[in-house]
Every structure is written in C-alpha cells, then in structure tokens.
Structure 1
Amino acid sequence: MLHKLAEDISFYLIINNIIDIEDRDTYIYGLELLISTLLISISILILGILIGNFISAVVFLTVHFLLKSYTGGYHANHYYECYIYSVFTYIVLIIINCITSAIYKPFIGLILLIISILVIFNFAPIENKNNPKTKEEMEKNKRISRTRILILSINGVLGFAIKADLIDIWFMLAITMFSIAYSIVKQIFLERRVPGG
C-alpha cells in the first residue's frame, strides 16, 4: 500500500513536470520513507496524547529525528515492521520511564548516556544498504552524530542537575538515546549473522 501510494505520487509529479522520469525510483524510495515517518510520528504523538504523556512522545521523536537519521541503526525489511518496531520501542520506553523509581533515574540515566556516547562514537554511522552513502557522507554523518549525542547528553546531564522536577523528561531523553545505541548494536549483530553481511 505504501509503495503504491509513493508510485502514484511520483507519477503525478512526473506528469506535471516536477521531477524527471529517470529519478522516479529515487523519489519513490524517498516518498515511502517520508510517508512511513509521518505515520510513525503521528501514531506516537496520538499514543502520547492518549496515555497523557505527550511530552515524552515529543522527546522520543525529537531525539530520533536529531540523532538516528545520522547514526543509522536497525532497519526493518518492510515499512510495516519499522512501524511496529518504532511504536513498540516507544511503548517499552514509556513503561521503563513509569516503573523506574525517580531516586534511581539520575544514576541510570547517566549510565545510559555514557553507554550511548561510547556506542555512537565507536560504531556510528551504520550504513543502510537501501540508501548507500559515499565516504564523505559517512564522515559527515559521523561528525554530526558525535556532535549531536554530546549536545543531547550535556542537555540531559544539565537537566538532571538543574531542573530535577522534570526528571521524567530527562530520563526519557536518556533512554531514547540508549534505544538508538541499542539499535546500532542490533544492526551490527544482524549483519554479522548474515553470510556476506
């Protein structure tokens, strides 16, 4: 369904001389990604509203947009799998945030930030076989992902220290960054298990 919608949109763009037919496959891939990202984002925001935790949904999505687009990580084989994985990850993080005692959140959050920094500095970016990058693009993504993880981590640490009454938000920031680090490690593990991967 997603592929058909992207094909229809690209066909409309070609007919109206907005894009060249030679670029159609690139636009189809980009449109699929855009539509998938919109569906995931809207679903997570709605879920955040329904459970009364809209701010955590915004934090989750912001960290993902700022970081994962440059670090790479786990890539599902199909868009519906990506949708399920993303929404499931958000739900798991909300549960972790709710069941973790506020007393332990600063310590656990700091540990998770350190682990996230180490993983991203050592392994990011992870290349997506569906969207190959040049060596220059990979180097640029490495610089951006390192800069952003440091900025987000500093915000998290300062948030814990300065505005402790927003502990749930700062902890959500930390566990979301950790989920991205986990996604990187998961993708590396999956690639090593596949012959020729």
Structure 2
Amino acid sequence: MLHSCAEYLTHTLYRHCPLSEEKRPVFVYGFELSLSTLSSILSIILLSIIFKNVYSSLLFLYIFFFLRLFSGGYHAPTYSRCFILTNAIFAFVYLLSEVIQWYKPLLIPFAILSCISIFLLSPIRSTKHPLSERLYAQNKKAARIIVSIDFLLFL
C-alpha cells in the first residue's frame, strides 16, 4: 500500500512537472520514506493522546528522530517493521518513564548511562548504509553535541 501511494504521488508529480524519467525511482523512494516517517509520527502522537500525555510524544519525536538522524541505528528490513518497531519503542520508553517516576533515584543514573552510551557509540556503522569517513566524523560530532545539549536540558 505504501508503495502504491508513493507510485501515485510520483505519477502525479510527473504529470505536473517535466522531470527526467530516470529519476522516477528516486522520487518513489523519497515518497515512500516520507510517508513512512509521517505515519510513524502521526501514530506516535495518536498513542500519546491515548496515554493522555501529548508532551511525551513531542519530546520523544524530537530526541528519537533528530538524534537518530546523526547517531544511526537499526534499519528494519521493511517499512511496516520499522513502523511497528518505532511505535513499540515509543510505548516502551513511555512506560519506562512512568516506572522511573516512581523510582526517582534511578532517573539521573539512567540518563547518564544513556547519554554516555550515545556519546561513545554514535554513530552506529551500518553495512547496508555505509558513510564516508568525512560524513561519519561529522555525524559523530553532531550526535555528541546533540546528546550533550539534551543532557544539559535534562539537568
């Protein structure tokens, strides 16, 4: 279904704009990626409405998507698995944050451990999506800056 929507949007784009036919797969992929990301964002916001805490989804989306952009991570083999995994991670993090609120002494050590892990391990190298050494170094610097700022804001 996602591919069909992306094909339709690409077809509509080509109907209205004179574009090179050899670029068609790039547009289809771009639409697939955009639709997949948008559906994940909307479903996370919907879940947070169900949990009655929209702020949690906005915070999660900022940290998860923005930081992950530079730190890398697991790439699911299909868009549907990515959608399910992303929503499951949000639900898990949300529920974990609810539990940690009952055990507040765990909050700071957990945050420190998380930030140190991201600081030291980012970006994750992917064999399916390799980065040049220059881009790897840029992403490492960006991930470290972002996690440091996030930690300072947390404190």
> Same fold by TM-score, threshold 0.5 exceeded?
yes
Q: Quick one: distance in 1 between partners of 2:64 and 2:18?
A: 30
Change in CA separation of 1:54 and 1:7 when aligned onto 2, cut-off 3 Å? same
Q: Which residue of 2 aligns with 1:75?
A: 75
Shift of 1:83: 0.9
Change in CA separation of 1:112 and 1:25 when aligned onto 2, cut-off 3 Å? farther
Show structure 1 runs of 5+ residues with no match. Answer: 158-197
Shift of 1:70: 1.0
The secondary structure found in structure 1 opposite 2:7 is helix
Letter in 1 for 2:62: T
Matched, 1:15 2:45: no
Shift of 1:18: 5.5
Matched, 1:51 2:51: yes
Letter in 2 for 1:117: C
Matched, 1:148 2:112: no
How many residue pairs get aligned? The number is: 155
Change in CA separation of 1:152 and 1:11 when aligned onto 2, cut-off 3 Å? same
The secondary structure found in structure 1 opposite 2:124 is coil
Shift of 1:19: 4.0
Q: Which residue of 2 aligns with 1:114?
A: 112
Q: Deviations over 1:36-56 (max 9, x none)?
A: 111011111111112211111
CA RMSD across the alignment: 2.0
Q: Which residue of 2 aligns with 1:38?
A: 38
Letter in 1 for 2:60: F
Shift of 1:131: 4.3
Change in CA separation of 1:130 and 1:19 when aligned onto 2, cut-off 3 Å? farther
Show structure 2 runs of 5+ residues with no match. Answer: none
Letter in 2 for 1:87: N
* Comparing 16-25 and 4-13, the one that deviates more: 16-25
Q: Deviations over 1:120-167 (max 9, x none)?
A: 23322124455443332222211111100000011111xxxxxxxxxx
Q: Which residue of 2 aligns with 1:177?
A: none
Matched, 1:64 2:74: no
Change in CA separation of 1:79 and 1:20 when aligned onto 2, cut-off 3 Å? same
Q: Quick one: distance in 2 between partners of 1:86 and 1:36?
A: 11
Q: TM-score scaled to structure 2, two decimals?
A: 0.87
Off by >6 Å, runs of 4+ in structure 1: none
Give me the identity figure in percent. 30
Q: Quick one: distance in 1 between partners of 2:131 and 2:77?
A: 19
Change in CA separation of 1:22 and 1:139 when aligned onto 2, cut-off 3 Å? farther
